[in-house]
């Protein structure tokens, strides 16, 4: 039995698909299941039982003896939400309860952290656990993820295996429901379909030209490959970066989306919205050496490979993973 929280969401539903591919069919899906849009993410997947997130801990107390692994992917991920109580409940306190249950019931744990913890990258993007207390996230979402990472590292009692994964800019199938929080590739595809062009944020930083802002974009298929690797590995507990390891520009992203759609590039620039302008990351790049050092050898998709697969095999035909 494998538990996936955030099961109806983007990464959680892709992870269930991967587990099904590996013939893990005794899946417990934990979420609130209230969104009809997210329901499509679970269509056709082999799931043993659905458990509402607010009923989960009672369920676990009754069924822990059957649980082999827990993936805690569920979280409030809206970087424009500024109500701290929302994050305190869903991202911080909920995660602490999961951690404690994994100790009590000897369940190995992989949980989702975020590259949002790095803030403007003043201390770089190395997953060195000693610098985590010094990081300065730019929004409550990043703060909630960083506070849990700090809390986890401070605990004397830990699950016998645990890993926190700092997801960088994840994109790929099953993010149809995410609206403003969907990946730039998803927005690019829809803009190109509707208008024939792509609008990118203008740079408001003297060191970056328009469209030359750089991010580490990581394909969701690579993310779930790492998750299942850790499920089988179960050694070397700690906090790990999970990006492609290669920063690319938004111009690269836009041009590759046009190319995957077999269209000529037509790119314009608009001002970055005022509500996120002073909290905008101009450069991120995951140092992936730590994950490689514990034996992860699989190739990460290049931006070209990931966008081509996403656009041609999922967005154009409207398919889900």
- Average pLDDT on 161-170 reads 98
Distances (CA, A) of 222 to 14, 42, 243, 301: 11, 20, 9, 7
Q: Does 73 count as an annotated binding residue?
A: yes
Furthest-apart CA pair in the chain: how many Å?
57
CA distance 93 to 76: 12
Distances (CA, A) of 166 to 148, 204, 214: 12, 26, 17
Q: Does 18 count as an annotated binding residue?
A: no
pLDDT tens across 36-68, in order? 889 999 999 999 999 999 999 999 999 999 999
Q: Does 33 count as an annotated binding residue?
A: no
Q: Which two tokens stand for residue 280?
A: 């905008």
Q: Does 300 count as an annotated binding residue?
A: no
Q: Does 290 count as an annotated binding residue?
A: no
Q: What is the pLDDT of residue 81?
A: 65
Confidence of residue 79 (pLDDT cuts 50, 70, 90): low
Residue 299 pLDDT > 90: yes
Q: What is the pLDDT of residue 276?
A: 79
Residue 215 pLDDT > 90: yes
283 secondary structure, DSSP code = B
Q: Is 268 helix (H, G, I), strand (E, B) or coil?
A: strand
Q: Does 314 count as an annotated binding residue?
A: no
Half-sphere exposure of 10 toward its Cβ, with a 13 Å CA cutoff? 23
Q: What is the pLDDT of residue 80?
A: 63
- The answer to whether the CB of 238 falls within 8 A of the CB of 126 is no
Residue 86 pLDDT > 80: no
State if pTM tops 0.75. Answer: yes
Confidence of residue 78 (pLDDT cuts 50, 70, 90): low
Catalytic pick among 178, 282, 296, 320: 178
Q: Which two tokens stand for residue 189?
A: 């595809």
pLDDT tens across 96-148, in order? 999 999 999 999 999 999 999 999 999 999 999 999 999 999 888 899 999 99
Catalytic pick among 111, 118, 141, 176: 141
pLDDT tens across 245-258, in order? 999 999 999 999 99
136 as an active site residue: the answer is no
Confidence of residue 77 (pLDDT cuts 50, 70, 90): low
178 as an active site residue: the answer is yes
Q: Does 76 count as an annotated binding residue?
A: yes
Residues 6+ apart with CB under 8 A from 212: 203, 249, 250, 251
Q: Does 80 count as an annotated binding residue?
A: no
- The answer to whether the CB of 264 falls within 8 A of the CB of 102 is no
Q: Does 184 count as an annotated binding residue?
A: no
- Average pLDDT on 262-288 reads 91
Residues 6+ apart with CB under 8 A from 216: 115, 125, 168, 169, 243, 244, 245, 246, 247, 248, 284, 285, 286
The sign of the CA dihedral 251, 257, 260, 265 is negative
Q: Which two tokens stand for residue 140?
A: 């409550």
Residue 316 pLDDT > 90: yes
Q: Does 235 count as an annotated binding residue?
A: no
Q: Which helix (DSSP H) or strand (DSSP E) does residue 225 occupy?
A: helix 220-233
CA distance 211 to 234: 41
- The answer to whether the CB of 101 falls within 8 A of the CB of 157 is no
- Average pLDDT on 151-167 reads 98
Per the listing, tokens 């991202």 go with: 91
Q: Does 208 count as an annotated binding residue?
A: no
Confidence of residue 288 (pLDDT cuts 50, 70, 90): very high
Q: Which two tokens stand for residue 102?
A: 């994994």
């Amino acid at each position: 039995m494998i538990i996936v929280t955030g099961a109806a969401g983007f990464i959680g539903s892709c992870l269930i698909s991967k587990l099904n591919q590996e013939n893990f069919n005794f899946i417990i899906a934990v979420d609130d299941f209230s969104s009809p849009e997210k329901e499509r993410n679970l269509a056709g997947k082999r799931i043993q039982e659905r458990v509402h997130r607010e009923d989960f801990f009672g369920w676990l107390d009754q069924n822990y003896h059957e649980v082999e692994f827990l993936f805690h992917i569920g979280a409030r991920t809206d970087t424009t939400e500024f109500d701290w109580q929302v994050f305190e409940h869903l991202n911080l306190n909920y995660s602490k309860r999961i951690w404690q249950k994994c100790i009590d019931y000897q369940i190995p744990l992989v949980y989702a952290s975020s590259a949002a913890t790095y803030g403007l990258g003043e201390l770089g993007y190395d997953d060195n656990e000693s610098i985590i207390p010094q990081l300065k996230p730019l929004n409550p979402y990043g703060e909630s993820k960083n506070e849990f990472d700090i809390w986890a590292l401070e605990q004397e009692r830990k699950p016998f295996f645990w890993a926190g994964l700092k997801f960088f800019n994840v994109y790929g199938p099953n993010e149809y429901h995410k609206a403003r929080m969907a990946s730039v590739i998803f927005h690019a595809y829809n803009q190109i379909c509707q208008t024939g062009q792509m609008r990118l944020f203008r740079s408001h930083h003297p060191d970056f030209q328009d469209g030359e802002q750089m991010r580490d974009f990581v394909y969701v298929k690579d993310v779930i490959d790492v998750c299942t690797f850790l499920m089988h590995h179960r050694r070397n507990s700690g906090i790990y970066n999970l990006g492609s390891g290669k920063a690319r520009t938004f111009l690269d992203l836009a041009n590759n989306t046009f190319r995957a759609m077999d269209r000529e590039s037509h790119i314009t620039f608009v001002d970055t919205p005022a509500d996120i302008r002073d909290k905008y990351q101009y450069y991120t790049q995951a140092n992936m050496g730590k994950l490689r050092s514990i034996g992860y050898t699989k190739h990460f998709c290049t931006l070209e490979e990931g966008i081509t697969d996403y656009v041609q095999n999922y967005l154009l035909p409207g398919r889900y993973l």
